[in-house]
Structure 1
Amino acid sequence: MTQPPHDEPTAAGPDELREQVEQTREELGQTVEALAAKTDVKARAQEKAAEVKEQAALKAGELKAKAADLAHQVQDRLPDPVKDQAAQAARQARATAAQAGQLWEEKAPEPVRQKTAQGAQLARDNRKGLLAAAGVAVVVWLACRRRKG
């Protein structure tokens, strides 16, 4: 017969012994469950993937906010003549696009028009990002132009 560990009291009677056995079984079951969870590679990989996905989404949100802030700063620093030229160019581009759109509707095959419409909708849905990128491009272009001139 083995000796009980020094830190555990011995049972005084059969009821207490049964209680200790039940408690030991419960602890053993919890230990087995913990070991099984550690060896479940698929579940651990899924948990890690979810964690990484959440971190990526947070980082993307931060970067999007920074880009929007930068775009506002760029727009605030643009001189009024440049803003006016950009507005005029935008108006001309819209008029030209309307003419091209009419021609496109008349001449393009239906499947091509559907794909183009999907792309246009995507651009409209992400308008702020496109405007921010355009603003940054204008600032870079102006900076390069000033260095050469």
Structure 2
Amino acid sequence: MTQPPHDEPTAESPEELREQVEQTRHELGETVQALADKTDVKARAQEKAGELKEQTAAKATELKEQTAVKAAELKEQTAVKAVELKEQTAVKALELKEQTSAKAAELSEQVKARAAQAEEIWQDKAPGPVRDHRAAVLGVAAAVLVAGVLLRRRKK
């Protein structure tokens, strides 16, 4: 801003001069305020801290949203994996059930064969009266076994 020489009149009327003075005061006030703001280190530091606080809050909100999205994705993936594992477990259980059934059938056949062999041996080697009264002999043997177990319990 350049100032005119002092000997030249800058305003034609006192009213214009007042307006110029008022304008100059206003501009000078703004300049002084700007200089004061620049030299006020505490206020500038607080302003900068406020900006950083806002940035930090924004970043925290962004990270929180990202975390929520990631958690939802992981939850969905976990649910899918759980379903897959459940299906695999069911398939494996069916396979084991089939294997067990096959093994049980095989063992059942073996037991039947052994029972038939035992019956043949019984018929060949057991004395005639025992063969004729097989049910009675088995009943007596069972009764003796039960009596022995009861006597043992009583002694304890």
TM-score with structure 2 setting the length: 0.45
Structure (1 or 2) with the larger CA radius of gyration: 2
